[in-house]
Amino acid sequence: MKRVWLLAALLPACVILKFERLKNEPVDFVSDVKPILESRCLECHHSRYVFAGLNLETKKLAMKGGRSGPVIVAGAPQQSLLYKVLLLGHENPIAMPPTPEKLEREHEQIIHDWIQQGAEWPEGTRLVPPQDWNRNRS
């Protein structure tokens, strides 16, 4: 009987541990960052719709940045426009994404930690905008 109680007590702890990302936990570009950028940013920042001159399809283009210059400063999220625009309030025209739904707090943290950890982007990894998901992945 005791064991049952112990299990009951541990279960919520496990659930919390699973869902709460630890701060600055190692980030993997392909499994953590790519899906966020593809689903929330690529529709407006890829070769057919390059808003503000910013194309996030390839590492080379993303690192080149937009009309304001580089938007990713590896190791320095606070100097990276790609991260800073996520924190802006909606009264600001450059708040990203410009839709009413901001990124989830956890996703902002992932972008932050990715840049902080050096903004790794494996060579050859290409991001795909949502409307091309089926075409390119089936």
List residues binding ligand HEC (CB under 6 A): 40-41, 43-45, 51-54, 65-68, 71, 81-82, 85-86, 93-94, 96-98, 103
> Which residue is at the shortest CB distance from ligand HEC?
66
- In the complex, least distance from residue 136 CB atom to ligand HEC, rounded to whole angstroms: 19
**What is the maximal distance between C-alpha atoms in the chain?**
65
Cα–Cα distance for residue pair 26/6, rounded to 1 Å: 31
Closer Cβ to ligand HEC, 7 or 49, answer by number: 49
Closer Cβ to ligand HEC, 40 or 59, answer by number: 40
- In the complex, least distance from residue 116 CB atom to ligand HEC, rounded to whole angstroms: 16
- In the complex, least distance from residue 118 CB atom to ligand HEC, rounded to whole angstroms: 18
Radius of gyration in angstroms for the set of CA atoms belonging to the chain, rounded to a whole number: 18
Closer Cβ to ligand HEC, 69 or 124, answer by number: 69
Neighbours of 64 (CB within 10 A): 15
The CA-to-CA distance between both ends of the chain, in Å, stands at 50
| Cβ contacts of 102 within 8 Å, gap of 6 or more | 86, 90, 95
